[in-house]
Homo-oligomer: A and B are copies of this chain.
Amino acid sequence: MYGAGDVRVETVPDPILNQPTDAIVRIVRACVCGSDLHPFHDMPAGAVGTPMGHEFLGVVEEVGSEVRTLAPGDFVIAPFAWSDGTCDFCREGLQTSCRHGGFWAGNGIGGGQAEAIRVPQADGTLVKIPAGVDAALYPSLLTLSDVYGTGYHAAVRGRVTARTTVTVIGDGAVGLMAVLSARQLGAERIILMGRHTSRTDLGREFGATDVVAARGEEGIALVRELTGGDGTHVVLEAVGHLPAYEQAVGVVRAGGVISRVGVPQYEQAPVGFGSLFGPNVTLTGGPAPVRAYIDRLLPGVLDGSVQPGKVFDRTVSLSETPEGYRLMDSREALKVLIAP
């Protein structure tokens, strides 16, 4: 990406092993993330491009001398953050704060929207998938790179159980994964706030019991009406813009939790007596340590009992990636798969 709206497909040098803990992975599937749209909207134009993409499945081509758990030919999922898997944060399940970790597409590490990539801390980062998996499962497996684990993180941090009512704000891929995750954690009442019928229909399929298309004060009033005036115990905020935060404050029940996984496009927000403090509302969330959830979520994907891959409604080739951005930005596509 060279700036807002300017995505180019270019030939760059092949990645090579740099550290003994690296692996080189040939990418089999990648995709465009809702968060890729933020720089697509506001990145200043520059002479040097930034590699893009942080979600991919691939086949290991080569491993460094210290890589122990992987070998060429292994089929792997990559989480959207790389991590050593051994530090205290990783052991606590907060791989996004790994002491030797980082994020794709920066600091000399490439992006996933590519043919191949160098993976740092390969043992800690990559998760092996059983050989011979049906290609029909690739889209669902790919959601474990980010959106499924991110939705699940929202629900886990929100402490969703069978006893909690839930509102999900946002009908993008992460919002829909938050619905699916809340259902998996037992929630029986899940209100999805979103305006795109095709998406909210998929949300119903994933477990939403109610859909509220209105936003702002009107949307808040409707959720309150659906919940006897109280709001829901948990709100999963999967948008990242300030109005979505304000909506979350408006629909959360006293004593409840707002769990954010939409990357905030604001720094300041209301947290005082009138918003969070007075009603003892908890604000939680952050970048999901999806690596922590893959082991738990993979079996359901492999046996087909959950089909998070339904969020992909378009597939493009690597050379068509710029068109993939356009399709997502214009809301013509919910989430775009890239098959290099």
Residues of chain B contacted by A245 (CB below 8 angstroms): 271
Do A272 and B267 have beta carbons less than 8 Å apart?
yes
Do B272 and A276 have beta carbons less than 8 Å apart?
no
Q: Is A96 among interface residues, defined by CB-CB distance under 8 A?
A: yes
Chain A 255-297 interface mask (CB, 8 Å, partner B; 1/0)? 1000010011011111111111111111111110100000000
Q: Which residue from B157, B263, B271, B282 sits with its C-beta under 8 Å from A273?
A: B263
Identify 19 new A-B residue pairs, CB closer than 8 A, beyond the known A268-B268, A280-B287, A282-B282: A96-B280, A97-B254, A97-B255, A245-B271, A263-B277, A264-B271, A264-B272, A264-B273, A264-B277, A267-B270, A267-B274, A267-B275, A268-B271, A276-B283, A277-B285, A277-B286, A279-B286, A281-B286, A283-B283
Give the number of residues in A that approach B within 8 Å (Cβ atoms).
35
The A114-144 residues at the B interface (CB cut-off 8 A) are: none
Which 5 A-B pairs have CB atoms at the shortest separation, nearest pair first?
A: A280-B286, A267-B272, A97-B254, A282-B284, A283-B283
With contacts A97-B254, A97-B255 known, is A278 near B271, CB below 8 A?
no
Q: Is A6 among interface residues, defined by CB-CB distance under 8 A?
A: no
Task: Name 10 A/B residue pairs within 8 A (Cβ), A-sorted.
Answer: A89-B254, A89-B255, A264-B272, A266-B272, A267-B270, A268-B269, A268-B272, A276-B286, A278-B287, A280-B289
Please state the number of chain copies in the assembly.
Answer: 2
The A225-268 residues at the B interface (CB cut-off 8 A) are: 245, 254-255, 260, 263-264, 266-268
Q: Is A213 among interface residues, defined by CB-CB distance under 8 A?
A: no
Q: Is A94 among interface residues, defined by CB-CB distance under 8 A?
A: yes
Do B282 and A283 have beta carbons less than 8 Å apart?
yes
Residues of chain B contacted by A89 (CB below 8 angstroms): 254-255
- Chain A residues near B (Cβ < 8 Å): 89, 92, 94, 96-97, 157, 245, 254-255, 260, 263-264, 266-287, 289
With contacts A92-B255, A268-B268, A271-B269 known, is A97 near B277, CB below 8 A?
no
Chain A contact residues: helix, strand, loop or mixed: mixed
Do A277 and B271 have beta carbons less than 8 Å apart?
no
Alpha-carbon distance A294/B285, docked complex (angstroms): 31
Alpha-carbon distance A297/B302, docked complex (angstroms): 50
Alpha-carbon distance A260/B281, docked complex (angstroms): 11
Alpha-carbon distance A116/B141, docked complex (angstroms): 68
**Chain B, residue nearest A263 (CB):** B273
Chain B min CB distance to A319 (Å): 32
Do B275 and A285 have beta carbons less than 8 Å apart?
no
With contacts A255-B92, A264-B271, A269-B268 known, is A283 near B286, CB below 8 A?
no
Do B282 and A271 have beta carbons less than 8 Å apart?
no
Chain B min CB distance to A290 (Å): 12
